[in-house]
Amino acid sequence: MNKLFFFSLGLSAVLFASCGNNKPATAPNSPAAVDSLVPEIPPTSAFIDTLDGKPTTLYVLINKNHNAEAAITNYGARVVSLLVPDKTGSLTDVVLGYDSIGKYIHQPDTYFGAIVGRYGNRIAKGHFRLDGKEYTLATNDGHNHLHGGKKGFDAVVWTGKQINDQTLELTYLSKDGEEGYPGNLQVKVTYTLTDSNALQISYEATTDKPTVLNLTNHSYFNLNGQGSGTINNHLLRIYADHYTPVDSTLIPTGKIQPVAGTPLDFLQTTAIGARINDSSIQLKYGKGYDHNFVLSPAPDDTTRPDGLASAATVIGDQSGIVLNVYTNQPGIQFYGGNFLTGTNPLKNGKKDNYRSAFCLETQHFPDSPNEPSFPSVELKPGQTYKSTTIYQFSVKK
């Protein structure tokens, strides 16, 4: 399928001035010549394995305009590669990922590209009460529960069903008691790569007992291309005038505070690194940016027909690639890659250096099961959980 895709790119590749791997563009006269111009996605064969008795593989989505491509594995429902055009038209792989299933299995802690759950982000001390009952979850982040526990949705094999070239459905049944959570939870995640270069992620879930739920995607973006250096010169806007301050273990204090006057004020477009060395206790606790922003409608936001609101906009300083994030969720975690250490071998020989990627995780607020004043994360039998995130790509010349 890749070869077909690259072949179909032949015509547009003629126009490319440069390319994602910095090779000069030459007019291709064969599919092979085009192949060498674009950053390659890993071969599907590198993702064929069997885990927990279930087969793993790699699915490839290509949009109808043939100018964007995504590779997604059913191991953790992870986005492995996401190729979009930069300001010169060259395809750029904007997400961190590995080139084989083995590397995902052996380096699980970064959650590269994964769907995280049942509860994305932290639950204090792995405890919560629901309908008068106490639940104890697996703890995997000091004394706290993070991203679903020791074996969250990022580390299980989902059942994949490719609907067409643009759409992949992934389903997973999380059994009653898994990682300590109540209820058999049936989850469906649908990835769609649209004509307008958006990766749309739709989540649906139902349960047979009351449970708590907070699903998100943990892609690490570098809009100049994965492994291409710091994200601190990327420009960021977050459509939030409040945030949830945290303690030293990154558990919210329960307060909702204004961003005004703090380095978390991204209401005006600002370089990510402009205030990164500020003496704010919040940046100290997060070792940089690692905070939940309370989304507020932007004054210049136009009402979208799908009812989603603008959450954030990021611009790659070198590539001109613009990422707009839309969601129907109340919050977004902006994480600046503070725990990346350059020790993980990325695709195409690149490294995951310190602060060389950011995550924008649409979500309910961290530790909501223990904070009655935060929007509820309870899912009851008979209800359907629905969440949508759009990562929309375009270019600024």
Q: Is residue 106 annotated as a catalytic residue, yes or no?
A: no
- Residue whose C-beta lies closest to ligand BGC: 335
| Catalytic residue, candidates 66, 145, 147, 218 | 218
Nearer to ligand BGC, 138 or 298 (CB): 138
Minimum distance from CB of 195 to ligand BGC (Å)? 30
Minimum distance from CB of 272 to ligand BGC (Å)? 15
Q: Are 130 and 369 in contact (CB under 8 A)?
A: yes
Neighbour count for residue 314 (Cβ, 10 Å): 24
| Catalytic residue, candidates 69, 178, 179, 361 | 361
Residues comprising the chain, all counted: 397
Q: Are 132 and 171 in contact (CB under 8 A)?
A: no
Minimum distance from CB of 333 to ligand BGC (Å)? 5
Nearer to ligand BGC, 16 or 112 (CB): 112
Nearer to ligand BGC, 187 or 359 (CB): 359
DSSP H helices, 287-351, are none
Q: Are 62 and 165 in contact (CB under 8 A)?
A: yes
Minimum distance from CB of 364 to ligand BGC (Å)? 13
Distance from CA of residue 375 to its chain's centroid?
22
Nearer to ligand BGC, 210 or 273 (CB): 273
* Rg (alpha carbons) of the chain, rounded to whole number: 20
Q: Is residue 361 annotated as a catalytic residue, yes or no?
A: yes
Interacting residues with ligand BGC (CB under 6 A): 110-111, 121, 250, 290, 333, 335, 339, 359, 361
111: left (phi over 0), alpha (psi -120 to 50) or beta: left
Q: Rounded CA gap, 106 and 97, in Å?
A: 13
What tokens does 327 get?
Answer: 């969601």
Q: Are 145 and 122 in contact (CB under 8 A)?
A: yes
Minimum distance from CB of 339 to ligand BGC (Å)? 5
* Catalytic (active-site) positions: 218, 361
